[in-house]
Amino acid sequence: TGEDGFELYLPADRTAEIWRLLLEKGAAQGLVPAGLGARDTLRLEASMALYGHEIDATTTPWEAGLDWTVKLDKGDFVGKAALVAQREQGVTRRLVGFEMRDRGIGREGYPILDGDTEIGRVTSGTFSPTLDRALGMAYVPVEKAEPGTPLTVGIRGRGVAAEVVATPFYRRPK
């Protein structure tokens, strides 16, 4: 989500007891439960890729802006040659953040259009209550990936104006 957090691994038969204890002990600090919708909005505001949305078996780190996860100088691994070749040749698409400029929300699977031609797809989109605007992420051709580039998102049969913006959309103050 971009926030500090924890993952707990515990016996299933103790889950309810520990859940109640965490809520009780954390209440004084404002701890409240949040669902997957909140988690998804937070991770999108932080521009964090989610498997099955921004990344899958067909996505490379270079396309998704995850090059920091690859260490080509750390020995051999499955797929290294393909990654080296793609880095040398360059990518044809990039994952970008966008903000809607007109009313509408670009949802997962909505097309990014150039006229009537689909040139990309929205991977995630929502209205951000923190930022008070609709935002999303999409794969677009490299030549459309610079911040400030206008985009058109196909929403229910009509083209709605959007713009590529720098990510993350939100960064927690230190």
Tokens representing 90 are: 């360059």
Q: Across residues 61-66, what is the average pLDDT?
A: 96
CA–CA distances in Å: residue 165 to residues 15, 36, 66: 41, 25, 17
96, exposed or middle or buried, with CB in 10 Å at 0-12, 13-18, 19+?
A: buried
Residue 116's SS3 state is coil
Q: What is the CA radius of gyration of the chain?
A: 19
Enter the pTM of the model.
0.86
- Over the stretch 74-130, which tens digit does the pLDDT of each residue have? 999 999 999 999 999 999 999 999 999 999 999 999 999 998 899 999 999 999 999
- Asked if the model's pLDDT at residue 164 lies above 80, the reply is yes
Q: Which CATH number fits domain 43-52+93-165: 3.40.718.10, 1.10.10.10, 2.40.30.110, 3.40.50.300?
A: 2.40.30.110
Given a cut of 90, whether residue 45 has pLDDT beyond it is: yes
The answer to whether the beta carbons of residues 81 and 89 sit under 8 Å apart is no
**pLDDT tens profile 29-44:** 999 898 889 989 999 9
